[in-house]
Chain A
Amino acid sequence: MTYDLITISLPLIAAYLGSYFLYQKNYIKRSTHIRLWNILILLTFLISVGPGLTLLCLVEYGIALPISQSLLYWHVQFGIALFWITIFHMHSYWKSSPSETGQKTKKQDAVNNEKNRRDDG
């Protein structure tokens, strides 16, 4: 049994580049572009990790089910998609979170401190 590494990877890369191009040229909003790939990453994560963890539990407890091979197959196929979509996700959010770049950090820390002081009091 072989896995579709190229046939999954190439269309996904093309689709992301297409979506990114549409966003860059203002045909779609940034939020639409991000939301589309966020939904896809969540779906591929659930479909890849679900069978992966099920297989892990089965292997740890020494149980073999008739669906084990199908679980392994779909775990790998969706794992390939998850690999690429996670890279797209990192690209989309690269230095975009204000709390992580420090823009709002001081403000948020001050709010936190104030909240804690009130709780202590």
Chain B
Amino acid sequence: MKKLYVVLLIIILTPVAVYAWNDCPYGLLNDPFPGSCSRYVDTNQDGICDHSQSPSSASTNTTSDLNTDNTSIHESNESVSDIQKLNIVPTENYYMVPLIISTLILYLVTYLLFLENYLSRRNYLRIWKYVLITSFIVTGVTGMILIIFINYGIESSWNLTINFWHVEFAIIMAVTTLFHFHLHWKQFKNVFKI
């Protein structure tokens, strides 16, 4: 039964890996191995991210790359990828605005409860401290995993999932950090006092 749960969890968490061409969200063209972000995918083994090249240029590269050795890949690794001239790229939804608004509403509710004495200052501070620590841990750990994946050229179907949760928790962390400044405003101002 446990195994069934684990399999179900993996199916739910693993996104459908759709490897598309010429749809880099950063607008990069011919991004060399190991890529600038965690989306790097190279189905035709030409040392260039599929998202940053069109299928036609990829097929041309494949035929030409058949005659080249690994040194050309290492050379292309050091070069910086071009930026797409087009300004419009496919959108991706990270729920930025709903997340910011929800976190803000929750903060205001707890602030109101604190002001109305339904919540002690200790618990009020504690709640937001734990939210900040949790969001930092998830953001930090997923970020580190992504850096290791990029640096060592590790491709997996988990890259997009990890990237998604990195962004989601980073949004919460950024907003909660602003609340952290509000909660510790006196100490915050003292940092810059000489």
Using a CB–CB cutoff of 8 Å, the interface residues on chain A facing chain B are 1-3, 5, 35, 38-39, 42, 45, 49, 52-53, 55-66, 68-69, 72-73, 76, 79-80, 83, 86, 90, 97, 99-100, 102, 105, 108-109, 112-113, 116
Using a CB–CB cutoff of 8 Å, the interface residues on chain B facing chain A are 24-28, 31-32, 34-37, 80-81, 83-84, 86-94, 96, 115-117, 120-122, 125-126, 129, 133, 136, 140, 143-144, 147-148, 150-151, 167, 170-171, 174, 177, 191-192
Contact of A45 with B28 in the complex, beta carbons under 8 Å: no
Residue of B nearest to A103 (CB): B122
A15 to B27, CA, bound (A): 37
Contact of B133 with A113 in the complex, beta carbons under 8 Å: no
Contacting residues, chain A, for B125 (C-beta < 8 A): 97, 99-100
Contacting residues, chain A, for B167 (C-beta < 8 A): 56
A61 to B91, CA, bound (A): 6
Contact of A64 with B26 in the complex, beta carbons under 8 Å: yes
Q: How many A-B residue pairs have CB under 8 A?
A: 120
Q: A60-B94, A64-B88, A76-B147 are in contact. List 6 more A-B contacts (CB 8 A).
A: A5-B144, A39-B191, A64-B87, A66-B83, A69-B80, A100-B125
**Distance in Å from the Cβ of A94 to the closest Cβ of chain B?**
11
Contact of B94 with A56 in the complex, beta carbons under 8 Å: yes
A105 to B126, CA, bound (A): 12
Given the known A-B contacts A59-B25, A60-B92, are A108 and B150 also in contact in the complex, defined by CB atoms under 8 Å?
no
**Distance in Å from the Cβ of A15 to the closest Cβ of chain B?**
18
Contacting residues, chain B, for A2 (C-beta < 8 A): 34, 150-151
Contacting residues, chain A, for B144 (C-beta < 8 A): 5, 80, 83
From A2, A58, A113, name the one whose CB has the most chain B CB atoms within 10 angstroms. Answer: A2
Contact of A69 with B91 in the complex, beta carbons under 8 Å: no
Contact of B121 with A105 in the complex, beta carbons under 8 Å: yes
Contact of B140 with A108 in the complex, beta carbons under 8 Å: no
B93, B148, B191: which contacts A42 (Cβ < 8 A)? B191
A90 to B136, CA, bound (A): 11
Contact of A56 with B96 in the complex, beta carbons under 8 Å: yes
A61, A69, A108, A116: which contacts B81 (Cβ < 8 A)? A69
Contact of B117 with A1 in the complex, beta carbons under 8 Å: no
Contact of B36 with A59 in the complex, beta carbons under 8 Å: no
Task: Identify the 4 closest CB pairs spanning chains A and B, nearest first.
Answer: A64-B27, A62-B91, A68-B26, A105-B122
B94, B121, B133, B151: which contacts A3 (Cβ < 8 A)? B151
Given the known A-B contacts A1-B35, A3-B147, A86-B140, are A53 and B174 also in contact in the complex, defined by CB atoms under 8 Å?
yes
A105 to B147, CA, bound (A): 42
A19 to B27, CA, bound (A): 42
Residue of A nearest to B24 (CB): A64
A86 to B140, CA, bound (A): 9
